[in-house]
Amino acid sequence: MSTSKVTVRREAKIASIVATAWELAEADGVAGLSLHALARAVGLRQPSLYEYFDSKHALYDEMFADGNRQLQAHLAALTLPREPRRALKRYLGALASFALERPARYELMFLRHLPNFTPSDASYAIAGEVLGTFVERMTAAGVTKPDDVDCLVAMTAGLIDAQLANEPNTDRWIRHLDRLIDLLVDDAIRRSAQ
């Protein structure tokens, strides 16, 4: 078999393992992901899983990268309004819907619940690209100072966290997203003009 066919088969198996890992993480939480259960679910013995990932953290790293690629695709599929603030609201709303529909991905990508796990530089680079697109949207809407960007990111994450932690099947907190975006953007623009 040619090297390219072997590479394609290996990449397909890795994608299958990661997809199954996400399914298990959605059911049991990211920290509850069992390599034994994962190996069984993908038709491998646990030692064979190490042919693809040399550690659980290596698996988490690939999941982190995969989750960010999924978020990129989710955002790229959006049709955005021309008006910058409305586009920002749609963008942050899309992030919130992604997180609420895929809480395990949100947990791994945006929270740090796993002891000693830090994504690799390559995986962080993908996350940095995602953040860069958000910053572009914020800048276009008039949020240009780093502290204001931080506030908008923290506010969005706080609403998502409150929603997931308390009433994941309602919109009790996330329904306030657009209103709070308006408040923060208005405040950022006002303070920039002073």
Exposure on the CB side of residue 12, measured as CA atoms within 13 A: 6
Q: Residue 51 — φ and ψ, nearest 5°?
A: -70, -20
Does the pLDDT at position 160 exceed 90? Answer: yes
Range 153-159 contact pairs with CB under 8 angstroms and sequence separation of 24 or more: 155/180, 155/181, 155/184, 156/92, 156/95, 156/96, 157/110, 159/96
43 pLDDT band, cuts 50/70/90, is: very high
80 pLDDT more than 90: yes
**What's the pLDDT band for 63 if we cut at 50, 70, 90?**
very high
Residues 92, 158: Cα–Cα separation, whole Å: 12
pLDDT computed for residue 112 by the predictor: 86
Considering the chain, what percentage of its residues have pLDDT values greater than 90? 94
CATH class of 1-54: mainly alpha
Is residue 7 classed as helix, strand or coil in its secondary structure? helix
84-139: pLDDT as tens digits:
999 999 999 999 999 999 999 999 999 988 989 999 999 999 999 999 999 999 99
Percent above pLDDT 70 for the chain: 99
Q: Measured between alpha carbons, how far is 158 from 177 in angstroms, rounded to an integer? A: 10
User: Quick one: average pLDDT of 24-36?
Assistant: 95
pLDDT-derived band at 1 (thresholds 50, 70, 90) equals low
Domain boundaries, the chain: 1-54, 56-193
CATH code assigned to 56-193: 1.10.357.10
Per-residue pLDDT at 9 = 93
Give the model's pLDDT for residue 12: 95
Tell me, yes or no, if the pTM score tops 0.95.
no
Instruction: Output the pLDDT for position 194.
Output: 86
Average pLDDT, the chain: 95
pLDDT computed for residue 113 by the predictor: 84
Mean pLDDT of 160-189: 97
By CB atoms closer than 10 A (0-12, 13-18, 19+), residue 22 is buried
